[in-house]
Structure 1
Amino acid sequence: MRIALLAHVRQPIRQPFLGGMEAHGWYLAEGLIARGHEVVLFASGDSDPRFTLDPVLPVHYEAAFPWAEHRGKPELIAHVDAGYAAACDRIAGGGFDVVHNNSLHRFPLEQRRTAVTPTVTSLHVPPYDALHHFVAVSPSPSHHLTVTSQSQLRAWWPEGAPPEASILHNAIDPAAWPFVPKGNGEGVWCGRITPNKGPHLAIDAARRAGIALTLFGAIEDRDYWTAEVEPRLGGGIRYGGHLDGTALAAELGRASVFLFTPCWDEPFGLVAIEAMACGLPIAAFDQGAAREVVGDAGQVAPANDVAGLADAIDHCLTIDRAVPRRRVEEHFARDLWLDRCEALYAAVTRAPHSAIAA
């Protein structure tokens, strides 16, 4: 198939990834190309050059309009709108069989566009006002929507999801996250260093449990880092930087437990399954999709409960490392995910031609 992958443009789709959405787009492009599809990645122009790129914007928008300063401001909205409007027009005229839309933008949801080029839209966030209406009116036979977890499905459609919506769990290539049969007794945390990811609570729980902890990830919120994270470093707690996938996999494999501390309704938690593939049980806060992702591969504690998380750490150190690895292979392996993506593409491309397109 000839597939247009439409990404978000806040950050580039390249390693090291800022977060799960960038990783999702990169793994999807890589996986579909490996299966013989012709893939064009519509993303920021500073994304990974190994892919065939059609830039939505010349560079990711944070480079010119930092989100923390320009969120909701007219100049940022106009900049992003212009890029997506032109990209959607190029897709419509580009002879694509299907669009996989990960943009979190309203234009690709319009039925006048999805009727021309069948579309699968993946929603990676809880419902928010700027997008909710456009999602609600967008389902059609040629437009299927996916969410990453059961909790997210309930959040978007509390009265019941339409037939054109389903759960598509995120996934990874287990081979890229090698299993290590024994850890060093330490903990590890990774993700964007920002308040809603809760690294300061992970530190507090690790201290309470008496284990060393290393943090990895991009420092997205510098004020939060300075006020809440940096003062907690030392005494077995350290920051290991922002690493690419290969280096991060090696660091994860050395540890014995992964701390997953969402302080918001986390739609999935890609970092958790990366750690699980390496053999790490997960000590997690019970927020968003955490319980659904972790399953029998760890233990969840009440949200924001540091003492409970410390107890979960102790329990996780008794779990056989083969359990989390097996859970990834059975539920979150990339080939399963790609099979499901291809089935969705086939379904929307079989939909009857719409009068909207005409």
Structure 2
Amino acid sequence: MALKIAVVAHLRHPIAAPFMGGMEAHAWHLVRGLRARGHQVTLYAAGDSDPDFRIHPIIARHYDQDYPWHDFHGTDVLNAVLDDAFARCTEALDRGGHDVVHNNSLHRFPPRHAFATRMPMVTSLHVPPFDGLRRAVQDSAAPWSRFTVCSAQQAGLWWPAGAPESAEVVGNGIDLRLWPFAPTGDGSAVWAGRITPTKGTHLAAQAARIAGVPLTIFGTIEHRDYFEDMVRPHLGGDIRYGGHLEGRELAENLGRSSVMLFTPQWQEPFGLVAIEGMACGLPVASTRIGATPEVIGDCGSFAAPDDAAGLARALTRAMRIPRHAPRRRVERLFSLDRMLDRYEANYRQAIDAARDGIDARAS
């Protein structure tokens, strides 16, 4: 049965290609995938998001334009902007007549509002817990106010004593048609993502240099000082920066390579770019942190987060993994259809619970 669905996004960046990171890509493909299944979807997001979507602008343009995250994160100024925006968003959701809300905002207001008003909602948690949202999640779990995390490792961080019945793990999924399998590589390595300290781009360059493997780095330079101080000194010769590419061009470049370097320095919740590379046939040399072992599995090799020499050894080991293995792992575990199936099941559980009047504390 087709549903009327509101997808609420976070506001730091537009939900539009080229994507600034995994959260933007996830929201964009979620809306696109739900529409393809016949649902009527409204995206509540920054007004400069993809105009192909039905958009309800929470703010006129993404906030990083006016309140750069690295300058305003955690400040009263930005918090006030976001609180005002999501207060208006919950009011709009009340008027929207949606069957269910899929909340990707990372703001505390939507789940609290869902709990209080019996609004059917599925909130996806894409980051490790932080205080304001953690309290809202703990207070808002109900049969109609459901939660998903993208890895079992993240579930343990959000609910150390055990997740409620209204929460489950739903791994991120990608459209495999957009990340075609390439049977051979050229012997080089690739790194892709946001260039910022938590992503460890410099470590990839160090490891490739030690291993003697050519490396191309792709992605938006989110943190300019980090790029200039920690990444640029490693560029030159076989280590180069290839810019920020759109999906098809990025997929082509991934497919030409023989291995992916994935180097998070934080409690990585999932690693969308890792499965994009794996879909193209790339084994992965990764830091062992957060959900990386859970997602990559036996299709990669691992090193400690601060060990460039160990990562160089992992790079050499990973290059010996047959390319069909990572592709098959993504097909089995991380397809867009699998993700959408699980989300749709959660939507219907939330809708049924709100309709049946189950007590808020039953979960």
TM-score (norm 2): 0.96
Quote the Cα distance in structure 1 between the aligned partners of 2:75 and 2:225: 21
Percent of aligned pairs with the same amino acid: 53
Q: 1:123 matched to which residue of 2? A: 125
Q: What's the offset of the Cα at 1:111? A: 4.7
Of 216, 219, 240, which residue of structure 2 is paired with 1:217?
Answer: 219
Deviations 1:152-207 (A, max 9, x none): 01111111111111101111011100100000000000111011100100001001
Quote the Cα distance in structure 1 between the aligned partners of 2:81 and 2:304: 41
Whether 2:89 is the aligned partner of 1:87: answer: yes
Q: 1:40 matched to which residue of 2? A: 42
Unpaired segments ≥5 residues, structure 1: none
- Tell me the secondary structure at the aligned position of residue 61 of structure 2: coil
Alignment of 1:35-184 (within 5 A): 35-111=37-113, 115-184=117-186
User: Runs of 4 or more off by more than 4 Å in structure 1?
Assistant: 111-114
Quote the Cα distance in structure 1 between the aligned partners of 2:293 and 2:358: 40
Quote the Cα distance in structure 1 between the aligned partners of 2:335 and 2:21: 19
* Structure 1 pair 298–355 and aligned structure 2 pair: CA distance change class (3 A): closer
| Greater Cα shift, 73-82 or 264-273 | 73-82
Contact kept? 2:90, 2:113, Cα under 8 Å: no
- The code of the aligned residue for 1:128 comes to F
Deviations 1:261-320 (A, max 9, x none): 000100000000000000000000101000001012111122222111111111111111
Q: 1:303 matched to which residue of 2? A: 305
Q: What's the offset of the Cα at 1:71? A: 1.5
Q: What's the offset of the Cα at 1:101? A: 0.2
- The code of the aligned residue for 2:37 comes to R
Whether 2:316 is the aligned partner of 1:314: answer: yes
Whether 2:5 is the aligned partner of 1:3: answer: yes
TM-score (norm 1): 0.97
Q: What's the offset of the Cα at 1:75? A: 1.9
Contact kept? 2:122, 2:146, Cα under 8 Å: yes
Whether 2:300 is the aligned partner of 1:291: answer: no
Q: What's the offset of the Cα at 1:353? A: 3.0
Deviations 1:199-256 (A, max 9, x none): 1000010011110000001101111111011111001000011111111001100000
Quote the Cα distance in structure 2 between the aligned partners of 1:22 and 1:112: 23
Quote the Cα distance in structure 2 between the aligned partners of 1:134 and 1:282: 36
Contact kept? 2:114, 2:121, Cα under 8 Å: no
Quote the Cα distance in structure 2 between the aligned partners of 1:334 and 1:114: 32
Of 174, 197, 200, which residue of structure 2 is paired with 1:195?
Answer: 197
| Greater Cα shift, 264-273 or 68-77 | 68-77
Quote the Cα distance in structure 2 between the aligned partners of 1:132 and 1:201: 31
- The code of the aligned residue for 1:275 comes to G
- Tell me the secondary structure at the aligned position of residue 300 of structure 1: strand
Contact kept? 2:115, 2:141, Cα under 8 Å: no
Quote the Cα distance in structure 2 between the aligned partners of 1:164 and 1:301: 35
Unpaired segments ≥5 residues, structure 2: none
- The code of the aligned residue for 2:59 comes to L
Of 243, 246, 255, which residue of structure 1 is paired with 2:245?
Answer: 243
Contact kept? 2:114, 2:145, Cα under 8 Å: no
| Greater Cα shift, 261-270 or 298-307 | 298-307
* Structure 1 pair 31–121 and aligned structure 2 pair: CA distance change class (3 A): same
- The code of the aligned residue for 1:265 comes to Q
* Structure 1 pair 91–354 and aligned structure 2 pair: CA distance change class (3 A): farther
Of 262, 265, 273, which residue of structure 2 is paired with 1:263?
Answer: 265
* Structure 1 pair 329–86 and aligned structure 2 pair: CA distance change class (3 A): same
Contact kept? 1:149, 1:289, Cα under 8 Å: yes
Quote the Cα distance in structure 2 between the aligned partners of 1:59 and 1:355: 39
Of 323, 341, 354, which residue of structure 2 is paired with 1:339?
Answer: 341
- Tell me the secondary structure at the aligned position of residue 123 of structure 2: strand
Q: What's the offset of the Cα at 1:114? A: 6.1
- Tell me the secondary structure at the aligned position of residue 218 of structure 1: coil
Whether 2:357 is the aligned partner of 1:353: answer: yes
Quote the Cα distance in structure 2 between the aligned partners of 1:355 and 1:291: 38
Quote the Cα distance in structure 1 between the aligned partners of 2:169 and 2:274: 18
Whether 2:256 is the aligned partner of 1:233: answer: no
Quote the Cα distance in structure 1 between the aligned partners of 2:128 and 2:18: 24
Q: What's the offset of the Cα at 1:337? A: 0.6
Contact kept? 1:114, 1:143, Cα under 8 Å: no
- The code of the aligned residue for 2:195 comes to I
